Chains A and B, each alone.
Chain A
Amino acid sequence: MSILGFKRRRSRSAQTDPVDVLDSLDEAVVVIDEQERILYRNRRWESLEQATGQPDHALPLHRFMHPLDQAPWREFLGQLNQGQRPDPLWVRLPVGEALYWCELRAQPLYKDADWPISLSFCDITPQVRRDQQRDASHRSLNQLVSNLPVMLYRARNNRNWSMEYVSEGCLSLTGYSADALVNQPRLSYGALIHPEDAGPVWEEVQQALHDNRPFELYYRIHHANGAIVQVREKGQGLYAESGAVLGVEGVIFTLESI
């Protein structure tokens, strides 16, 4: 662009109508009164209105929102009515068969009056989809680990085998809930190991850590119900880059029925 052209454009933009600016936004902007009547709509909102198949300009704003978002929206309005500035609200806008997630922010249009208010709808659908995907895989992994008939663990490398994490399978294997074993000073997994086996278990693990190889152990533990249970454990060390042992992790299970 020539310098002259650039200057011309700048001088034009200095006189730009704010309405043009609002229309250029990717966010939908509306202004509503206390009855939720839309007093102003920018171009983005207009195109949304047309896509919803409800091009009736007299419709109150809540008619564009998902039926299940009506209650939070009314609460949001209630806060605005009391002169508060509510936190942004996530609402769904059904557009045809599609569904858009929007973050809704509101503020009074004028400093000296609570109404009318201006609202901006920012499309956060991609972000919500990503979050849903992440939550689903986390949920799935969590369920998988919780339901396995084994006890997965991550422990510190000390004679008590203080647990940082144990899976739900702990309950059926030891009779103690996972919470009872994790970072509890009064009960440790080490205390459950049969006294005759505790020494060999410690030594075998230390030897494996020293050799930098996985370990496999057979030993006895005391179940909470008083029984002695024969268990099998496969695990390995957790090492820092320097080679220092940070802890051990593995899986413990029994072949007996408890």
Chain B
Amino acid sequence: MERTALQTHSHGWLHRLTRASRFSRAPATPRSHDVPNIDELALEIAGCVQLDRELPALLKPLEHSLGCHLADKSNLKLGVAVSRQGDGATLFMTEGGPSMPGLETFVRYQLNGALSDIPPMKLFSIPLPGHQLSCHCIRFEMETGCGWLLLAAPLALPESVERLLAPLAHATGRGLSIHCLHQKRIDDAVHQERRAHAAELHDSLAQILGYLRLGTSRLDARCSRCNQPDLQAIATDLSHQTRHAYRMLRDLISSSRLTLEGGSLHTALAAAVEEFEQRSALVFELDDRCPQLEPEENIAIQILMIVREALSNVVRHAHAQHVRIQLMPLNSAGLQLRIEDDGCGLSAERKRGDSFGLGIMQERAEKIGARLEIGPRPEGGTRLDLRLLLRDLRAGD
């Protein structure tokens, strides 16, 4: 029976399998407290659904076990960094425990520099500035990139701990490899499904709505010549609503087709800016100050759609020369997107709702729990601010 259930519900099967295996092993003889239970680690990591929440929790007992080998357990922190093909590294550190100010920033910096190409499965140590500690690190390779096991601990590690780190890194690497491949399969399936929907919508509904849009607009124009106010009001409303529906459908189709180019908001943003650059004489300035902050894919797609809508408004309506797209960390607890141009500003007429684009942007922002404000830029032109809180992001800086 259980076999059938596993086969029919492919999503999350790994997670359930690991939970089942954890449960079935629970009554087994407990291991000695000083040997972390690394046999199951690979399976547990592979079964994670949300890596950012589950991985630090999985590392915590291991950190505790490693601490048992040290005289001073209070100066210890375990972490894992993952870099998927070409992306910047995402860092997962255990929560709670000793506070080590500057640790994460230091590690991120070293991951991009000195630690980026150390030989795999060899232990390296870098002293942590401002602490009597070192960052001990083993790089491991995965099928979809590479990762690092990181241990902030006293400068000299006891041999018993050093011996444990290599198998730990190996198990983490295996688990993450499976997790990433599984995640990629799910993402690919979702994209394929979305694209199929978009194609269907484009071929059926969009054609009919397009026809209705032209028809109702013609009806509206005719009615305006008939001197029949009641009829005119209905025709105008019909034309307006049809245009709105058509616009929403086009938006839906383009967002279903949209994939994150390069797999990250930052590369996709650069690609979108480049695309708009090819179609206008505006200067586009992309100022991305938080390449390490990566929202979840669905959120990133919504942000990207807002950027595209805003940029297309600037190109079409703003009469601007310069537009700046700025991505900033927000009080180290979120992300702020600002798009501002030096154009003619939002006219009252466009604000009044003639433009559906502004409403759609607002809806998209609400969908991802972000705050969107569109208003005048103090020096002239328009400014759009989108603020998103950190809980929606994969990694903090």
Tell me the A residues contacting B by CB distance below 8 Å.
Answer: 35, 62, 66-68, 70-71, 74, 92, 94, 97, 99, 129, 132-133, 136-137, 139-141, 143
Contacts and interface: CB of A to CB of B under 8 A. Distances in A.
A139 to B, nearest CB: 7
A140 B289 contact: no
B207 interface: no
A129 B278 CA distance: 18
B115 to A, nearest CB: 12
Interface string B333-352: 00000100000000000000
A132 B109 contact: no
Contacts of A94: 287, 289
13 contacts: A66-B287, A66-B289, A67-B288, A67-B292, A68-B288, A70-B109, A97-B338, A132-B283, A136-B283, A137-B281, A139-B277, A141-B281, A143-B279
A70 B105 CA distance: 13
Which of A71, A99, A141 has the largest number of chain B CB atoms within 10 A?
A: A99
A66 B288 CA distance: 8
B285 interface: yes
B321 A140 contact: no
B326 interface: yes
Nearest to B328: A97
Nearest to B292: A67
Interface of A is mostly: helix
Contacts of B192: none
Interface in B284-331: 284-285, 287-292, 321-322, 326, 328
A67 B291 contact: yes
Contacts of B292: 67
Given A67-B290, A67-B292, A94-B289, A136 B277 contact: yes
A38 B150 CA distance: 29
A147 B113 CA distance: 43
B112 interface: yes
A94 B326 CA distance: 11
Given A66-B287, A67-B292, A140-B281, 20 more contacts: A66-B289, A67-B288, A67-B290, A67-B291, A68-B291, A71-B112, A74-B112, A92-B287, A97-B326, A97-B338, A99-B285, A99-B287, A129-B283, A132-B285, A136-B281, A136-B283, A139-B277, A140-B280, A141-B281, A143-B278
A136 B338 CA distance: 21
Contact of A139 (B281, B285, B290): B281
Contacts of A141: 281
A67 B287 CA distance: 10
Contacts of A136: 277, 280-284
A132 B323 CA distance: 12
Contacts of A133: 283, 321-322
Nearest to B340: A97
A185 B279 CA distance: 34
Given A67-B288, A67-B292, A62 B283 contact: no
A99 B324 CA distance: 11
A139 B284 CA distance: 12
A143 B279 CA distance: 7
Contacts of B290: 67
Contact of B289 (A35, A67, A139, A143): A67
B109 A62 contact: yes
Contacts of A66: 287, 289
Which of A62, A74, A92 has the largest number of chain B CB atoms within 10 A?
A: A74
Contacts of B287: 66, 92, 94, 99
